[in-house]
Amino acid sequence: MEKLSFGQKPKVLVVGAGPIGLAAALEFSNFEIQTLVVDELSEINRASKAICWSQRSLEILNRVGLAEQFIKKGSTWKKGRVFKAEEEIYNFNLQVEAGFKAPAFINLQQYYVEQFLIDKLKEFEYPVLRRGHKVVDISLTKDNRALVQIEHDQDMYKVIADYVVAADGVRSTIRKALELEMQGNYFDEQFLIVDVKVNRSFPLERKFWFQPKFHDGQSALLHVQPDNILRIDLQLGPNMDPELELDEERVRARVNKILGSDVDYKLEWISLYSFSCKRMQRFRHGPIFFVGDAAHAVSPFGARGGNGGIQDIDNLVWKVSSVIKGKASRALLDTYDEERIPAADENLLNSARSTGFMTPKTQASVDFREAVFELSKTMPFARDFINSGRLSQPYKYIGSSLVSEDDISFCSDGILPGQSILDAPIFIGRNQTWLIDQIANAFSLVAFVDEEKTALSIPEYLDEVCGQLDLVEQYLVVTSKRLNGTSKKFLYDATGLAFERWAAYDGTIYLVRPDHHIAARWKETPTILELKQAYRKSISL
């Protein structure tokens, strides 16, 4: 990467080189936007921290060519098991459906995630990463850009950026400098996190215990990570002694009870944490956008923190890039709050519910939980009430001002406008690939063809549409039959999964946003005017 001189003015300054900030820089690179990333740490923190990455996050990172590397290194788990004391109440399968490039979840330590992101940054021309550079102040210029003061090696310098992405965590320096706060609920429960390296492999599954005998009746959670490392979370209660609980011998005594005496292990990382469910009132403040933990904080149960942050930048980057390139007005930037604040609220609600079920505070809550446990032994419906951390799901921007009213002939089948796309295996010629690999990080039209005559006419129609709409850079045609020809725009749906998941018929068309959420869809081929209206709505015109 070519280094910027201190006097240059990047289009975007990203503050924070954790997974969210680095992913933002890579997304901007896809749009050829000049980006500077600064972080006050001089090197990657080797603590595991975030470890659980969802299918949606993997699909977002797929656009910068990282999904395969994450999946190859990560531990892919499908099965979750829930226990009451030592009795297994139920188990569940995350990956019910096959036919997706990315699994439902992988476990991968944050330090690997950051290193993979940094290595990928080096392949791009535009991003610059500066470590050991600490933001100390921020203000706005007369032309509404951000003036940022940065300290490095006891020297100070200034950066003027058109936009700032604050990805500097729950203790955000940017948020403090602007005298902004997060509001919400604070929980006094304390938890112990331990990463242990074991001498043998463990089943790739998630285990959650309510009231286990090995841990004084409190909650416990176990995840399997790469390199034979286990993540153990132990609820300690609100009145524990931090110094006592961090004592290595005490930690070992706890781990021994979980793993048994026949497992050799090495303590890799020990930490205590408490958490809150809170967010900022607004995520956008002029040219400054807050993402990830800088904007909202949740409990670690359900893997919503890192995955929610990845979805933040997924939503933000294409909008900022469109405005920088003069393809959209600044009004588009307001929709970051419109779409991501409800997403944060959904995460906060699920996180608070998980915490409330794990640590009931009233006798009524205790009685409810015990009743659920008892019913779950014989009645499967009751198992849905057991909340050991509802796992992260992509937010659906249904009802957003950027989303067109749905074609009622779909009858709610397929992917609703506002939802993210669904992957499927498809063929280009004789070569099998994945649908998500073919949809670019641009506005795209995905058409479905079931009849030969439609296959002959639709490319000309789609060429005309793309020629009239500035940001629609691509169209794809998914066919139910093999068609002669070598065009990469013709994709053969041999399994029928693409047609099924997209509820497609002959002539069905979807308008897909750069973040791979559906902007509009039509069961039958729309007029060019209808497509224009939906497109203009999707960029806030």
258-269: per-residue pLDDT in tens? Answer: 998 889 999 999
* CATH of residue 485: 3.40.30.120
Q: Are strands 79-84 and 205-210 parallel, antiparallel or unpaired?
A: parallel
| Number of Cβ atoms within 10 Å of the Cβ of 183 | 9
Instruction: State both tokens at 464.
Output: 């005309």
In percent, the amount of the chain with pLDDT more than 90 equals 66
- Bridge partners (DSSP) of residue 254 are none
* Average pLDDT value for residue range 244-267: 92
User: Looking at the predicted structure, is the pLDDT value of residue 165 above 90?
Assistant: yes
* CATH of residue 242: 3.30.70
Length of the chain: 541
User: Looking at the predicted structure, is the pLDDT value of residue 391 above 90?
Assistant: no
Q: Is residue 495 part of a domain?
A: yes
Cβ–Cβ < 8 Å for 162, 324: yes
Q: Is residue 80 part of a domain?
A: no
Q: Do both 166 and 238 map to the same domain?
A: no
- Give the list of residues 6+ apart from residue 50 with CB closer than 8 angstroms, or none: 19, 110, 113, 303, 305, 306
Q: Do both 261 and 194 map to the same domain?
A: yes
Q: Do both 322 and 204 map to the same domain?
A: no
Q: Do both 245 and 345 map to the same domain?
A: no
| Cα–Cα dist 164/166, whole Å | 6
* Average pLDDT value for residue range 502-523: 96
Range of the domain at 431: 408-538
Last residue of a domain, one of 243, 259, 276: 276
Last residue of a domain, one of 244, 276, 308: 276
Q: Is residue 159 part of a domain?
A: yes
pTM of the model: 0.94
Q: pLDDT at position 379, please?
A: 83
| Cα–Cα dist 106/226, whole Å | 10
Distance of CA 246 to the CA centre of its chain: 31
Q: Do both 268 and 289 map to the same domain?
A: no
Q: Is residue 462 part of a domain?
A: yes
| Cα–Cα dist 447/67, whole Å | 25
Q: Is residue 318 part of a domain?
A: yes
Instruction: State both tokens at 410.
Output: 């779909």
Q: Given pLDDT bands bounded at 50, 70 and 90, which one contains residue 2?
A: very low
Closest CA to 170 of 273, 61, 78: 273
Q: Do both 137 and 234 map to the same domain?
A: no
* Average pLDDT value for residue range 55-84: 94
Q: Is residue 361 part of a domain?
A: no
* CATH of residue 29: 3.50.50.60
* Average pLDDT value for residue range 150-171: 94
Q: Do both 335 and 266 map to the same domain?
A: no
pLDDT tens, residue by residue, 429-464: 889 999 999 999 999 999 999 988 888 889 899 999
Last residue of a domain, one of 311, 333, 351: 351
Q: Do both 456 and 485 map to the same domain?
A: yes
Cβ–Cβ < 8 Å for 155, 214: no
The answer to which of 92-106, 113-127, 404-418, 484-498 has the lowest mean pLDDT is 484-498
- Which residue carries 């973040």 as its tokens? 515
User: Looking at the predicted structure, is the pLDDT value of residue 388 above 80?
Assistant: no
In percent, the amount of the chain with pLDDT more than 70 equals 97
Is the sign of the CA dihedral 379, 384, 385, 387 positive or negative? Answer: positive
Q: Given pLDDT bands bounded at 50, 70 and 90, which one contains residue 6?
A: very low
Instruction: State both tokens at 514.
Output: 């750069």
Q: Do both 140 and 29 map to the same domain?
A: yes
Q: How many domains does the chain have?
A: 3
Q: Do both 341 and 196 map to the same domain?
A: no
Q: pLDDT at position 438, please?
A: 95
Q: Do both 31 and 174 map to the same domain?
A: yes
Q: Do both 162 and 198 map to the same domain?
A: no
Q: Is residue 311 part of a domain?
A: yes
Q: pLDDT at position 384, please?
A: 78
Q: pLDDT at position 362, please?
A: 85
| Cα–Cα dist 16/412, whole Å | 40
Cβ–Cβ < 8 Å for 121, 26: yes
Q: Is residue 524 part of a domain?
A: yes
